[in-house]
Chain A
Amino acid sequence: MSEPSHPLPLRGVRCGACGRTAFPAQEFGCEGCGAYGAGLEPVELTGHGTVLALLTVYEHPDPAVSTPATIAGVQLDEGPVLRARVSGVREAGVAVTAAADGNGLIFHSTNGAGAR
């Protein structure tokens, strides 16, 4: 997937009509209520979240994607759930913080050895 710009800070939108916060930033429309365009306020997300699940990807059909790699489902403190690479995290429930490397977004354990 192309990453059009540096991933940090994580950019989302808050809906002025229903209050829902969504990631990534977009003006197409709010999934909660349909408000769109100027009805969606761009917000910078804290990048703090909690790991829901993580695993090792052993095989990938695209040779450009290097494996093994560790990917996680992360619920951001503001609510949105996303999937991104993680480093230094071994179990679900761990607090993580967004960072970036040459391949884009990567989460590190907020308190652990992997944190920056």
Chain B
Amino acid sequence: MTALRLRDLRPVYVIGVGLHRYQRPTDTAFVELGLAAVRRALGDAGLEWPAVEVAYTAATRLGMAVSRPMLRHLGATGIPMTQVENASASGSSAFRMACRDVAAGFADVALAVGVDKAGRAVRAEQLTGLPVPDAGLVIPPVHYGLLAEEYLRTRGAGPEDLARVAVKNHGNAARNPFAHRQKARTLEEVLADRPIAGMLTRLQCCPVGEGAAAALVVSGDAVERHGLDAGRAVRVLSSVQRSEELYGAKSFDAELTRTTTEQAVAEAGVSAADLDVVELHDAFTIEELQYVEAMGLCGEGEGPARLADGEFGIGGRVAVSPSGGLLAMGHPVGPTGIGQIAEITLQLRGEAEARQQPGARLGLAHLVGVGAVCAVHVLAAPDR
């Protein structure tokens, strides 16, 4: 038997999105961050809280049972609430659960909300009891720094090819009022910044702070019943999540991205060349170069040249991380995947203002979570 695809079920739409700015750690309670995002999403949708039938909360560093201490302040309506944790992909997975509930008919209105504060996370991989021979050195910038060294060597690329990713994404975030970093940077600034690991400087590593993001997902029935604006409803064409396989010495992040994206694009009935906006897991500059190639946005090894040509900038062939991406919009972790959906929704509605990719009709959101897992969603403009 062939597994169901999202598109085999009834249509699912993003009808409302909302964010709390991603920012450096403050003493603001997570409750306030999360509620701000949910209330903005409800306002954006034109929905009242009692219409929401199910909620998924993505959080990674807030401990157990995050949903109700936050959502009860919207009114205790008794709806099912579930916390979703999938590392960097937590928000993507929460969004996926909401989409599946609506597609299958378990709910007509579902909420996916991500909220997080800075703090130490316990990683289960460190509790396996298996020896790790790296002397504790391999933290994420080191993992990606090693991939950067290998990528640049095998492609004949240089440090400035990496740094250009940071220049583009910081430039985009400078136009995003919800971004953690809102300052445009020059190539010289990126290259001369404090070195962290190998060629990766501080501005080539994402800021991990706090924030919140929310998305309301609805059925066509709900659009009619609640009198919502179908002209602002962004359809979710596909939702695919996969986990790491055995790839030998190849970059597992890139290979996992390749298989997951291939499936998501195929299930959406489109091709990678049709995409107008892509939000991807650019926690480190090297990732964007790896992923644009793995996704088929350009040929293998062509990433640096296409980037330098402006193909991935706003106004280019396909805008990559128009929000500023994890690199500059920031990576509060729980919210990140839902923040991507918020950006793509604005882009596909034509509401992204200073960051608007002209004529955006088709968008893709991609996150990799340590472990590794990968989630990809393809979304379409209301008039597509």
Interface residues of A (CB under 8 A from B): 1, 3-5, 7, 24, 26, 28, 31-32, 52-62, 64-65, 69, 71-73, 75, 79, 81-85, 92, 103-105
Given A52-B150, A71-B146, A24-B130 contact (CB < 8 Å): yes
User: In the assembly, what is the distance between CA of A81 and CA of B250, in Å?
Assistant: 10
Cβ < 8 Å to A, chain B residues 116-165: 126, 128, 130-139, 142-143, 145-150, 153
Query: Which B residue sits closest to A10, measured CB to CB?
Result: B133
Say whether A61 contacts B131, CB under 8 Å: no
CB distance from B162 to the nearest CB of A (A): 13
**Which residues on the B side are within 8 Å of A82 (C-beta)?**
133-134
Q: 9 A-B residue contacts at CB 8 Å?
A: A1-B126, A1-B132, A31-B246, A56-B195, A57-B142, A57-B198, A83-B137, A84-B133, A92-B149
Say whether A53 contacts B142, CB under 8 Å: no
- Report the count of interface residues on B (CB-CB < 8 A): 30
Given A54-B146, A56-B198, A62-B136 contact (CB < 8 Å): yes
B76 within 8 A of A: no
**Which residues on the B side are within 8 Å of A57 (C-beta)?**
137, 142, 145, 197-198
User: In the assembly, what is the distance between CA of A105 and CA of B138, in Å?
Assistant: 14
Given contact pairs A60-B136, A105-B135, enumerate 19 new A-B contacts (beta carbons under 8 Å): A1-B126, A1-B135, A3-B133, A52-B146, A52-B249, A57-B137, A57-B198, A58-B196, A64-B136, A65-B137, A71-B134, A71-B137, A71-B146, A81-B248, A82-B133, A83-B133, A83-B138, A84-B133, A84-B135
**Which residues on the B side are within 8 Å of A24 (C-beta)?**
130-131, 133
Say whether B153 contacts A92, CB under 8 Å: yes
Contact of A58 among B128, B136, B150, B197 (CB under 8 A): B197
Cβ < 8 Å to A, chain B residues 202-228: none
User: In the assembly, what is the distance between CA of A69 and CA of B339, in Å?
Assistant: 36
User: In the assembly, what is the distance between CA of A52 and CA of B197, in Å?
Assistant: 16
Q: How many A-B residue pairs have CB under 8 A?
A: 100
**Which residues on the B side are within 8 Å of A55 (C-beta)?**
142, 145-146, 148-149, 197-199
6 cross-chain pairs, A with B, having the tightest CB-CB distances, nearest first: A55-B198, A53-B149, A105-B133, A53-B150, A1-B132, A83-B134
Contact of A85 among B135, B148, B197, B246 (CB under 8 A): B135
**Which residues on the A side are within 8 Å of B126 (C-beta)?**
1
User: In the assembly, what is the distance between CA of A92 and CA of B148, in Å?
Assistant: 12
Cβ < 8 Å to A, chain B residues 91-138: 126, 128, 130-138
User: In the assembly, what is the distance between CA of A58 and CA of B194, in Å?
Assistant: 9
Query: Which B residue sits closest to A79, measured CB to CB?
Result: B248
Given A53-B147, A65-B136, A71-B137, A58-B195 contact (CB < 8 Å): yes
Say whether B133 contacts A53, CB under 8 Å: no
Say whether B197 contacts A53, CB under 8 Å: no
User: In the assembly, what is the distance between CA of A17 and CA of B384, in Å?
Assistant: 51
**Which residues on the A side are within 8 Å of B145 (C-beta)?**
55, 57
Query: Which B residue sits closest to A1, measured CB to CB?
Result: B132
User: In the assembly, what is the distance between CA of A31 and CA of B126, in Å?
Assistant: 18
CB distance from B346 to the nearest CB of A (A): 34
Binary A-proximity of B156-179 (CB < 8 A = 1, otherwise 0)? 000000000000000000000000
Contact of A4 among B131, B139, B149, B199 (CB under 8 A): B131
